[in-house]
Amino acid sequence: METKEKNFENDIEAYLLSHGYVKGNQNTYDKSKAIDMPVLISFIQATQPKMWQRYVNVYGERAEKQLYTIFQQNVEQNGLVHVLRYGVKDRGMELRFAYFAPASNLNEELVQKYNSNILTCTRQFAYSTQNHNTIDIVLSLNGIPVVALELKNQFTNQSVLNAKHQWKFDRDPKELLFNFNSRILLYFCVDLYEAWMTTHLQGEKTYFLPFNQGSNGAGNIGDGGNPANPDGYSTSYLWERVLQRDMLLSLLQRYISKQETTEISLQKGKQVKKTSVKLISPRYHQLDVVEKLVNTTKNLTEGRSFLIQHSAGSGKSNSIAWLTYRLASLHNDSNKEL
């Protein structure tokens, strides 16, 4: 067990690199822009060669600079989630920064473009022009950082509590990389036994939600935390299932969403409206139940009824919404619409 604990960070990286990720290159990452432009352009050239050539014909040597400008303008206006899903338009030219899984495998071109996504894993990610801070692991999609993990282990007398403190007090939310819905979309605190998550760094006000399976495993009645894993770490499910290439792309495509809420209060006898915006991403039990129902439904030959047990405050409404969205475009393994 001692060796396993010492190799915690190495083991996570090794797993991801052997399951569809490639090693990130800090030499091509632009800290001031919080993006790896060579990787992004490589993806665009591979998936949209004619459009990219047209773009270069229009902008010449300024093509890369203009690409970043139009990307950033759209991110600031609509958020990164929207830009990843729908791309941008520039003088009649449409460019995509990611391709997500098509509803079926009938369109070979779309399948090929989906498989062309470049997911990178970067250890000790140096992100700032202002300091020498690093993040343990950052995962990027086509050069765009989208997931960050701070890893702690009990062997060095640290836990998720230390990771939470690090995100709250040692990471400046004003850094472009940490701007809300601009680059990193999911922040994880992970140790040998627990995982926690947030979608928004707000300094000391940052609020983390547990991202654990439950003491008896997903779908079973129990307490908080995770069950012991005889084949690895108790938190292995995070990188083996959630951050697995296809699931991460699915999270970006189908799950993470922007939610606006408006509250009306009385101040000095007048009604005052306050609108707040946040990113919603499923906790593990929500992701687990939706994926289980989707996979079960794919193999059904006739309708069935299911009873889903959720505790109070567990996010039932969002689980229902995600499930409805998934079922609306579901195809079985024979590419038949259900």
Per-residue pLDDT reduced to its tens digit, 110-132: 999 999 999 999 999 999 999 99
Q: Using pLDDT thresholds of 50, 70 and 90, give the confidence band for residue 313.
A: low
> Strand pairing of 270-280 and 257-267?
antiparallel
Q: What is the mean pLDDT of the chain?
A: 91
Q: Using pLDDT thresholds of 50, 70 and 90, give the confidence band for residue 263.
A: confident
> Alpha-carbon torsion 33, 36, 165, 213, what sign?
positive
Higher pLDDT, 271 or 199: 199
Q: Using pLDDT thresholds of 50, 70 and 90, give the confidence band for residue 72.
A: very high
Q: Say whether pLDDT at 301 is over 70.
A: no
The whole-number pLDDT of residue 168 equals 98
Of the candidates 287, 289, 297, the one whose C-alpha atom is nearest the C-alpha of residue 328 is 297
d(Cα 38, Cα 40) in Å, to the nearest integer? 5
Supply the angle between the helices 284-298 and 316-328 in degrees, to the nearest 10: 30
Higher pLDDT, 293 or 134: 134
Give the pLDDT mean for 234-239. Answer: 97
The whole-number pLDDT of residue 1 equals 41
Global pTM value: 0.92
